Amino acid sequence: MQQALRTFGRILAEHWPALMAWYLGGEVVHRLTIEVAGIVGGYTTLGGLLILPIAVAARLVSYVAMYLTVRPSLPHAATDERISYREFARTVFVSILPFFAFYEAWGMLDADRSAFLKIAIYVGVAQSGYGEEEIGDRAGLISVGVLPVTVLLVALAVRVVLARFEDRLSAPLRVLATYAEVLWTFMLVTLVGQWWRGVSEWLSQRTGANWLRDVGDWFAAHLPPVAGLWEGGSWFIGIVIAVLIVPAAWLAVVGVIYGTTFDVQSGLGRWSDTALRGTARSLARTLVVRLESLWAAAAVIWRGGPVTFGTTALAYALWMLVDHAGTRGVLQLIGGHDTDFWKAYLPVILVAVAAVVEPLRVALMATAYDAVIGRPEAGLDAGSGLDEETGDGAILAVDVEEEGPLGVVGHEEHRDDVVGL
């Protein structure tokens, strides 16, 4: 515990300004990209769909940079090598799927889509002369249909084709490959999320669901104590999810960023290599590697043990309390103002508060990850950040393609704020 506190304090003392800079940079690009996507989406939905994923990617890049920035201060997960541009891009690349999945599950992708849709509808309706029949392919409306599925398939096809020539790709083509990965992942989580909401709505209208609601209403009317226990249990389950699932998801993302290795081999990967051939094998391998990365990162949570994870969950709950209390305190300090004031300044105020508290979350998750890696009985290794051969029976979260090791550019002092940039 004392070492964890020292690590946490060292991260904040040595990297807080850099963490704030990375966070603010990501937020600026994120919000500007949503604005651009909304304006373009007001003219053509396809154009908006092609731009909106970049907004999520901007946040991903900023978080990857934040975690790589603090890595030199981690006693067990630190490496002596400086991360090159190519390795930084590769780390972003392998973090796309887990980050987007977490982003969608926690509702942040819905918030981005809502902001995009609000702008796109305003622009689209204005351009159409405020006639609904004139909107056509405007206003950024996203639904499960031919357009998003086509975008997903085309982006995935581009990614698979470029993956076959990974060694010979120029810098622009690597950027295109990363964009294709971002685009198909964004469309996948969007379509899965919409499908799940449709299923949930369908289930809520079934006879069994109506019967359960009637039972709940009867208890509320005739047995208020039972209804109170039910409501209290629902509230408690929500708190448990927030306190346990969210830090677990962040630990998994950190595990992917740092490249966790462990001594379990994925049977799914062996099956895809032996049972499939050609394009099907390339496509399956693209998906399997992402699942292997998540499986390797999940080991951080499991092998950390209940004490380590429980401590992390309690610390994360404390961070949530600080976050909410800080936001509330700042708003109370500013005092009451009219609606126009809050429309103009509330987003800026919230970002300013987040720029202070987000480095705390990064320091907390990085410290928790390092504590797990430091346990000999966990059987985990932080990874080197290099795309090196993993040997038999090992999974490397950053082993994206089967190719030779990358070179390392230069060296830095142990606690410099460097991510190879």
Contact (CB, 8 A) for 27 and 62: yes
Q: Nearest to residue 197, comparing CAs of 104, 261, 312?
A: 104
pTM value? 0.75
Where do the H-state alpha helices sit in 241-338?
246-258, 267-275, 278-334
Residue 36 has pLDDT above 80, yes or no: yes
Is residue 128 within 8 A of residue 136, CB to CB? The reply is: yes
Q: And the tokens for 377?
A: 């009985």
Instruction: Name the least confident of 3-7, 275-279, 293-297.
Output: 275-279
pLDDT at res. 339: 83
pLDDT digits (tens, 9 = 90+) for 343-397: 888 888 999 999 999 999 999 999 988 888 877 665 566 664 444 433 334 333 3
In the predicted model, what is the mean pLDDT of residues 313-339?
A: 88
Look-up: residue for tokens 């002596």? 80
Residue 366: Cβ-neighbour burial (10 angstroms; 0-12, 13-18, 19+): buried
Find out whether 197 and 219 touch, Cβ atoms under 8 Å: no
- Give the Cα separation of 176 and 181 in Å (integer): 9
Q: Distance (Å, rounded) from C-alpha 309 to C-alpha 375?
A: 13
Phi, psi for residue 66 in degrees, rounded to 5: -65, -45
The secondary structure of 187-244 as a DSSP string is HHHHHHHHHHHHHHHHHHTSHHHHHHHHHHHHHHHH-HHHHHHHHHHHHHHHHHIIII
Residue entry with tokens 């470029």: 162
Higher pLDDT, 216 or 133: 216
For residue range 225-262, what is the model confidence (pLDDT) as tens digits? 766 776 776 677 777 776 778 888 888 888 888 876 65
Report pLDDT for 11: 93
CB 260 within 8 A of CB 296: yes
Does 421 score more than 50 pLDDT? no
pLDDT at 51: 93
The residue type at 32: L
**What does the alpha-carbon distance between residue 181 and residue 155 come to, in Å, rounded to a whole number?**
7
